[in-house]
A = this chain, B = another copy of it.
Amino acid sequence: MEGKTKKIVALTKDGKEFLIGDLSKDFHTHFGVISKNDFSKRKCTTNTGKEFFLFTPCFVDLFKSMKRAAQVILPKDSAAIVAETMVGKKSVVVDAGVGSGFLAAFLANICKKVISYEVRKEFVKIAKKNRDLLGLMNWEIKHKDVKNGIDEKNVDLVVFDLPEPWNCLDTASAALKRGAFFVCYLPNLTQVKRLVEELGKRDDFVYIKTIEVFKREWLVKEKLLRPEHHALTHTAFLVFSRRV
């Protein structure tokens, strides 16, 4: 069980999911009421006859109940960062700005340690709340402007979700160990172009690579066998480079 207090997930066959946080009373859904007496069962039925499966939440269940403010970095993009950099359980990662902490939380579940920098007080608060929800002891959140420097040295990955990351290249460079990755999450190609130009002028970042990642969900049910009709078609571009 992750997080501080015991919780229960209630899931329908077709994927409607509820996170039950207070186990001392019945849980009300728009599919009817789940009795607190059923919380310890594998399967139960609401008073209106809807079937639910119950289990202790996995990390992903708690992740989905994270508080979000402003735009968050989605798992598809966080995972793409892992795919390209292959950080793992021995890695130390720095990210800035943390925002609601979706990227940092995703990485803290995988890496040895994540240190987040955030200059905006309200986001520090939200990120800390999310950290508590997820019970991630290896995720440190600093209320500091990353422009003023990264305290850590020899880290394996620095990720910036900043509007003008080219202003903090010295900072990233100083924190990274040789061979390690520097990644920027950038919604616009104007930002990508500027960043790549600035990186290209330097001698300490090489192997610059820009990607975007798409996820397409399919409907597979009886005669249906087709992609979903509407979807998210853009979040951001990811620019990778290696510190040498």
The reply on A161 being an interface residue by CB < 8 A is no
How long is the Cα–Cα vector from A187 to B219 in the complex, in angstroms? 11
Q: By DSSP majority rule, is chain A's interface helix, strand, loop, or mixed? A: mixed
| B55 engages A178 (CB within 8 Å) | yes
How long is the Cα–Cα vector from A17 to B207 in the complex, in angstroms? 9
Q: What range describes how many residues of A lie at the interface?
A: 35 or more
How long is the Cα–Cα vector from A232 to B230 in the complex, in angstroms? 4
| B223 engages A233 (CB within 8 Å) | no
Assuming the A-B contacts A178-B42, A229-B234, A230-B230, are A156 and B188 also in contact, with contact meaning beta carbons closer than 8 angstroms in the complex? no
How many copies of this chain?
Answer: 4
The reply on A210 being an interface residue by CB < 8 A is yes
| A213 engages B179 (CB within 8 Å) | no
Those of A1-53 within 8 Å (CB) of chain B:
9, 11-15, 17, 42-43, 53
The reply on A145 being an interface residue by CB < 8 A is no
How long is the Cα–Cα vector from A91 to B149 in the complex, in angstroms? 34
Q: Interface centre among A58, A200, A242, by most B CB within 10 Å?
A: A58
Assuming the A-B contacts A110-B89, A213-B214, A216-B233, are A206 and B13 also in contact, with contact meaning beta carbons closer than 8 angstroms in the complex? yes
Cβ of A148 to closest chain B Cβ, rounded Å: 25
Partner of A229 from the list B53, B76, B233, B242 (CB cut-off 8 Å) is B233
| A82 engages B110 (CB within 8 Å) | yes
Cβ of A171 to closest chain B Cβ, rounded Å: 20
Cβ of A184 to closest chain B Cβ, rounded Å: 12
| B193 engages A55 (CB within 8 Å) | no
A88-B89, A189-B226 are known; give 9 further A-B pairs, CB within 8 A. Answer: A11-B206, A55-B179, A58-B156, A59-B86, A75-B86, A89-B110, A188-B223, A210-B220, A228-B233
**Chain A residues engaging chain B, CB cutoff 8 angstroms:** 9, 11-15, 17, 42-43, 53, 55-61, 63, 75-76, 78-80, 82-86, 88-89, 106, 109-112, 156, 178-180, 187-193, 196, 200, 206-221, 223-235, 237, 242, 244
A-B contact pairs, 30 of them (CB 8 A): A9-B179, A11-B207, A11-B244, A14-B207, A15-B208, A42-B244, A55-B178, A55-B244, A58-B179, A58-B180, A60-B84, A60-B85, A60-B86, A75-B83, A79-B82, A82-B110, A89-B89, A89-B112, A188-B223, A188-B225, A190-B224, A191-B223, A193-B220, A196-B220, A210-B220, A213-B215, A216-B233, A228-B233, A230-B231, A233-B233
